[in-house]
Each structure stands twice: as C-alpha cells, then as structure tokens.
Homo-oligomer: A and B are copies of this chain.
C-alpha cells in the first residue's frame, strides 16, 4: 500500500458520490462509476470489497463529520447558555447548518451528498439500517434532551412527533433546494443556501413551539 496515491480510491469515491447521489444505490451501476472515475471495473472490489461496502464508506465519510460538527456546536451552545436552556433557534441552527452548508461546498460533497443522505434517511437501503441507527443514536439522545429544556411543558410524545416533522422538512429542503427555483418559476433562488437555513429555522422553530392542542 503506497503512502501517497490512493488516487484511484479517491476517484472511485468521487464518482460514486456523484452517481449514487444522482440515481440512488441500485440504479447507479459499478460500470458507470468506474467509467466516470476513469478506472478499471475490478478496482471497486479490490479497494472496497463490494458495491455495498463502497456505498457505506462513501456515505459515512461525509455523514460522520456532519454529526460531529452538530454535537460540537451543541456543546458550545450549551456552554454559552450557562444554566439557562439553549434557545430553540440555536438548537435548530446546530442541527440544520452543518448539513445544509454542505450544499455550497463541493469539497464536502455538495448537493450530491445532500441528495444522498436525504434519500438514505427517508428511504434507507436495508443493509444501511443498523449502522445508520448507530450513527444517529447519539444525536437523538442529545437533541431530545436539549429540546425538552428549550420547550418546557411540552409532553415528550408531542415533542417527538414535532422532531419528526422537523426532520422531514429539513431533509426535503436539503435534497430539493436546487429544484425550488425551477418549481417556483424563479421565485425562490436555488443557490441561496443561507436564506434557506434561516427560513428553515423560522419555520421549524414556530412548528416546534406551536401552542399545545387542547384535545
């Protein structure tokens, strides 16, 4: 194993990110990927073992930094808040920004990554379920805890439903931000990533803090 190079490995990961992001796991073929990477077909199995393992490594190398960033920002926000609850909008910022800022940064996967993670959380490949659950478990714990304090008086089931709605809104926006411009006939700018983040925070903060239904 040469210390440098590993160039073909990187080329494969890059092409896989692009094509899996565009067509999904089962509709992107290894031949498409190796062609785009300018690499021999067998290189995938040589470096990654199988198509599934390529997919896993390709996705996790992007997901892990996102979730680390989220937890770090959350810790910072908690320290900043002292013994007060972390403000709701700050919580949402730590959750949304690390994900959506990837859209503008092709070195971190760009829109391909956002489509990938959105698809894999809304419609997961069976072989990803376990490892994804393990990856996101710490997030669920931390965010549930900090949100119960940011929204005192909200019953836990109620909070949980609203967290799911939030996740739905965020993932949909993450994957379709680029299409909004076309769909809205130019009303929404598809490259206004920062605007999207702020609008998502406005929307979800209001939703999470909505008055509790009397029924």
A residues at B contact (CB < 8 Å): 24, 26-27, 118-119, 122-123, 156-158, 160-162, 164-173, 175-176, 180, 183-184, 187-188, 196, 198-200, 202-211, 213, 215
Chain A interface secondary structure, helix, strand, loop or mixed?
Answer: helix
Cβ of A21 to closest chain B Cβ, rounded Å: 11
A202 to B154, CA, bound (A): 13
Chain B residues whose CB sits within 8 angstroms of the CB of A160 once the complex forms? 180, 184, 187-188
A167 to B188, CA, bound (A): 16
Sampled A-B contacts (9; CB under 8 Å):
A24-B26, A24-B123, A160-B184, A161-B188, A165-B200, A165-B203, A168-B173, A199-B213, A206-B207
Indicate if the CB atoms of B210 and A205 lie closer than 8 Å.
yes
Indicate if the CB atoms of A162 and B122 lie closer than 8 Å.
no
Cβ of A103 to closest chain B Cβ, rounded Å: 15
